[in-house]
Amino acid sequence: MFLWVHYADMVIALAQLPVAMVAWRAAADRPSRTSVVAFAVMVGTAVLRLAAGLLLLRWGWEFAGPRLPWVVPALVAAATVYLVWVRPAVSRARVAAVAGAVGVVLVAAVAQLAGVGPAVVTGAAVLGATAVGRAYRMAWPGPASARRGRWQAAVRAAAGVALVAAVTVGLSTASALPARSSMSGGTVDTGGGAAAGHEHRGGISVTELTGADSTTDAAVRRFTLTAQESTVRLDSGAQVAAWTFNGVTPGPQLVVHQGDLVEVTLVNRLPGVGVTVHWHGVDVPNAMDGVAGVTQDAVAPGAGFVYRFRASQAGTYWYHSHEMSSVQVRRGLFGALVVLPRDAPAPQDALDETVLRHTWGDEDGVATLGLAAGVQRRSVPAGRPVRLRLVNTDGKPATFAVTGAPVRVVAIDGTDVHEPGVLSGARILVGGGARYDVEFTMPDAPVTLRADGPAIVYSPGGDAGPDRAATAPALLDPARYGTPAATPFAPGGRFDRRFVLRIDERLGFYDGRPAVRYTLNGASFPDVPMLMVADGDLVEVTYVNRSGQHHPMHLHGHHMLVLSRDGRAATGSPWWVDTLDVGPGETYRVAFRADNPGLWMDHCHDLEHAANGMILHLGYTGVTSPFLTGSGTPNHPE
C-alpha cells in the first residue's frame, strides 16, 4: 500500500511537467479547448497529490509532511489559470501571471524529484528567467514577436537544448567526489543536530585500536585467505569468472569456538585491484574492521594483512571484501564465519550447514545457494538435529522458507533468540547481509528449504524432490517471536544521544554519473554528518524509510537492539541486529551502547545503494583515521 501511494505520487508529480507546459502555451491564447483541458488536468493532479499526501498521514507526519507543501504550487497555478480563463477579455498582466504560475509548478516538480540543493537553485533560475522573458513578450508584444519566423524558433530550440545540456553537465560536475576525503574531517551530528565540522586532532588513531586482549593465552586459530581470480562452475554448467578466496566461492568456511583468538592472514593475488576483509557482524576492535580508507589501506596486489580478533560471541557471521565491495562481493569475495559455543556438541551428532544465498551477475542474475541455482539433495538420517544457518549475501531481501518439519528460529544476526517457539514451518524475510539460524529434528519425510528460487531437500534417503504442495507458512515477525528477557539497558530509559536518519529517494547525479540516490537526511557520502558519540553513551537511532526500496542498514562494530517498528514496541525476544532491513514506509527505533571506540561505517548493505552514497559513519570523540578514500587513494570502500 505504501509503495502504491509513494510511486503514484511520483508519477503524478512527473505528469505535472507536460501538463504545465501545455497550460503555458495555452495561456497566451483566448479561452480554448486546450486551455480548458490543461486547466482541468492541472487541478486534477493537484487534488490527487493532495490525496496522496493525506493518505501518507497513515504512516505518520514524517511521510506526509514533506509531500504536502508540493501541492501548493500546483493549486496556485491552477487557480491563476482559472482566473484568466473565465474572463473573455484577457489582460496581458493576467497572461503574464499565468506564465509565472506555471513556471512555479515546473520548478516545484523538478525540485522535488531532484531533492533540494543546487538543482533547485539552477532550475529556478532558468525557469524564472524564461518565464519573465515570456511574460514580458506577451505583455508588450513588439514588432519582433509579430514577425517571428522559423529561424527564430530554431534558435530558441537550440538555446533550450544548450541550456539543458549546460545544466546537466554542471550538475554532473558538481556531484564529483573529492579525490581524497578523510573520515576524520567533515560535519558531525552530536545527537541533537548537525554541528560545525571539526577535525579530531591529537586523539587516538584507529590503528591503535587493536583490542587489549589480543596477546593473551587463548587458543589461536590461524587461517590464510588468498584473494585470486578463479573460474567457478554453477550447477547449470555455466562458468563464472569469479574473484575468490582460496579458489572457491563461497570462500572457505571458518569455524572457531567462542573465546578463540582468530588470526587470518589475507594475501592479495588479484590483478591490479586492492582488497580487504571485513568481519560482518563481529564486533571486532576497530583496527581489525577491514574497511578500506577508514581502518586500513586496501591491501595491494602482492601484499598482505593480518587480522586478529577474539571470537567473543557464538553465532553465524560472514566475511567479505570491503574494498569496492559492491563489485567484489558480487564477484565472489565472501564466505561464512561460524563461531560455535564453547561447549558445542561434536559435529557428527548433528547436521550444521551454512547456506549462503548469492546472486551472480547483476541484480537480476542467477540466484544460488552455494553454487547451485536448482534443487540440491541431502541425505540426513531421521532423528538427527539439523541447524541451517541462512545468510543473504545480496542487497535485496530474500524469502527463505522451510517446510516439512516443525522448526524453531534460534538465532538472528548471531544472537540467540530467547525461548523461540515451535513453528509448523518457517518463512523468513532475510534482509541483505542478515543471518537467521533455523533448527529442526529430521523427520521420516523430506524437509524443503527454498530461497526464492534455489532449494535444498533434506530426506533420510537423500533422493526426495521438493514438496510442491506445501502451503507457505506465515511470515516470521521477529518483533513478536520468542519471549522477553533482560537487556543490558532499559528500552524505555533515557538516551545520551538520539539520532534520526531519514531515507529519501532522489533522481540526480552521484560522482559525475546519473544515479538514483537514497539519501540520509538529504545527503550522500561524504556529506552525511558523522554520528558522534562518546565511549559509554547509550544511543538511540530512528530509521525512517520514505523511499520505495528496502534498505538493510548495517552498523559496524556494534549490535543494535530493536525497540519498535512503526511506533509499536517489539514484544518478543530481545531482537538484536547488526543489519536491519528497513522496508518501504517503515520506521524503526533501535538502541545500542557505544562500547567499542573507533570510526565505524554505518551503511546500506544493498551495496549498489552504498556505491551511490548511502553511507555514513559513527565516530567516537577523539578517534582519528590516517586513511583516506577517493580516486586519488587506493581506497574505495563502497
Return the residue matching grid coordinates 522458507: 401
23-62 binders of ligand C2O (CB under 6 A): none
Window 279 to 338, contacts with ligand C2O (CB under 6 A): 280, 320, 322
Distance, in Å, from the CA atom of 548 to the CA atom of 516, rounded to the nearest integer, reads: 12
* H or E segment and range at residue 555: strand 551-555
Alpha-carbon gap, residue 443 to 531, rounded angstroms: 50
d(CA 607, CA 330): 9
* Binding footprint of ligand C2O, residue count (CB under 6 A): 10
Which option in Cu ion, ligand C2O, none does residue 603 bind, with CB closer than 5 to 8 A by kind?
Answer: ligand C2O
> What's the grid cell of residue 159?
538555446
Q: Is 544 in the site for Cu ion (CB under 5 A)?
A: no
> According to CB under 6 A, which one of 67, 278, 387, 550 is a site residue for ligand C2O?
278
Q: Considering CB distances under 5 to 8 angstroms, the limit depending on partner class, which of Cu ion, ligand C2O, none binds residue 601?
A: ligand C2O
Footprint on residues 252-311 left by Cu ion (CB under 5 A): none
- The one of Cu ion, ligand C2O, none whose footprint includes residue 604, by CB under 5 to 8 A per kind, is Cu ion
Instruction: Quote the least distance from Cβ 435 to ligand C2O, whole Å.
Output: 11
DSSP summary character for residue 442:
-
Contacts of ligand C2O in 538-557 (CB under 6 A): 554, 556
Q: Which is nearer to ligand C2O, 123 or 335 (CB)?
A: 335
Residue from the set 578, 581, 606, 638 that interacts with Cu ion by CB under 5 A: 606
Task: In angstroms, give the least distance from the CB of 592 to ligand C2O.
Answer: 16
Residue recorded with cell 587489549:
212
Report d(CA 575, CA 561) in Å as an integer.
6
Instruction: Compose the 475-514 pattern: x for residues touching Cu ion by CB under 5 A, - for all others.
Output: ----------------------------------------
Partner interacting with residue 623 (select from Cu ion, ligand C2O, none; CB below 5-8 Å by kind):
none
Smaller CB distance to ligand C2O: residue 63 or 600?
600
Q: What is the smallest separation between the CB atom of 209 and Cu ion, expressed in angstroms?
A: 28
Instruction: Give the distance from CA 613 to its chain's centroid.
Output: 9
Nearest approach, Cβ of residue 38 and ligand C2O (Å): 50
Query: Nearest to ligand C2O by Cβ — which residue?
Result: 280
Rule CB under 6 A: is residue 605 a binding residue for ligand C2O?
yes
Looking up cell 562481493 gives 329
Question: In degrees to the nearest 10, what's the CA dihedral of 220, 306, 577, 583?
Answer: -150
Q: Toward Cu ion, which CB reaches closer, 358 or 551?
A: 551
Nearer to Cu ion by C-beta: 228 or 325? 325
Work out which of 67, 450, 551, 636 binds Cu ion, going by CB under 5 A: 551
Cβ 575 vs Cβ 412: under 8 Å: yes
As a whole number of angstroms, the distance between CA 377 and CA 465 comes to 8
The distance of Cα 43 from the centroid of its chain, to the nearest Å, equals 36
- How far is 92 from 329, CA to CA, in rounded Å? 63
Number of H helices, E strands in the chain: 10, 37
Among 13, 99, 601, 614, binds ligand C2O (CB under 6 A): 601
Asked if residue 433 binds ligand C2O (CB under 6 A), the reply is: yes
Helix (H), strand (E) at residue 436:
strand 435-441
Task: At 264, give phi and psi (nearest 5°).
Answer: -120, 125
Reported as type and span, the H/E element at residue 132 is helix 118-139
**Smaller CB separation from ligand C2O, 42 or 601:** 601
Q: Cβ–Cβ contacts within 10 Å for residue 164, how many? A: 11
Q: CB under 8 Å to 100, separation ≥6 — which residues?
A: 80, 131, 132, 135
- What track of x and - describes contact with ligand C2O for positions 554 through 593 (by CB under 6 A)? x-x-------------------------------------
Q: Closer CB to Cu ion, residue 506 or residue 593?
A: 506
Minimal distance, residue 518 CB to ligand C2O, in Å: 15
**Amino acid at position 613, single letter:** G
Cell numbers for 622, please give them. 577523539
Specify the residue, 321 or 519, whose C-beta has the smaller distance to ligand C2O. 321
CB of 487 vs ligand C2O, minimal distance in Å = 25
Handedness of CA 500, 501, 506, 512 (dihedral sign): positive
Question: Near ligand C2O by CB under 6 A, which window of 58-66, 370-378, 531-539, 597-605?
Answer: 597-605
Side by side, which strands form the sheet with 351-360? 366-369, 351-360, 385-392, 435-441, 408-412, 415-416
Reply yes or no: is the peptide bond before residue 271 cis, omega within 30 of 0. no
Q: Which of residues 187-226 bind ligand C2O (CB under 6 A)?
A: none
Classify 427 as helix, strand or coil.
Answer: strand
Contact 122, 167 (CB under 8 A): yes
* Residue span binding ligand C2O (CB under 6 A) among the ranges 467-475, 497-505, 532-540, 599-607: 599-607
Residue 322: alpha-carbon gap to chain centroid:
16
Spell out, one character per residue from 609 to 638, where the chain touches Cu ion: x when CB under 5 A holds, - when not.
Answer: x----x------------------------
Q: How many chain residues interact with Cu ion (CB under 5 A)? A: 6
Interacting residues toward Cu ion by CB under 5 A: 518, 551, 604, 606, 609, 614
Interacting residues toward ligand C2O by CB under 6 A: 278, 280, 320, 322, 433, 554, 556, 601, 603, 605
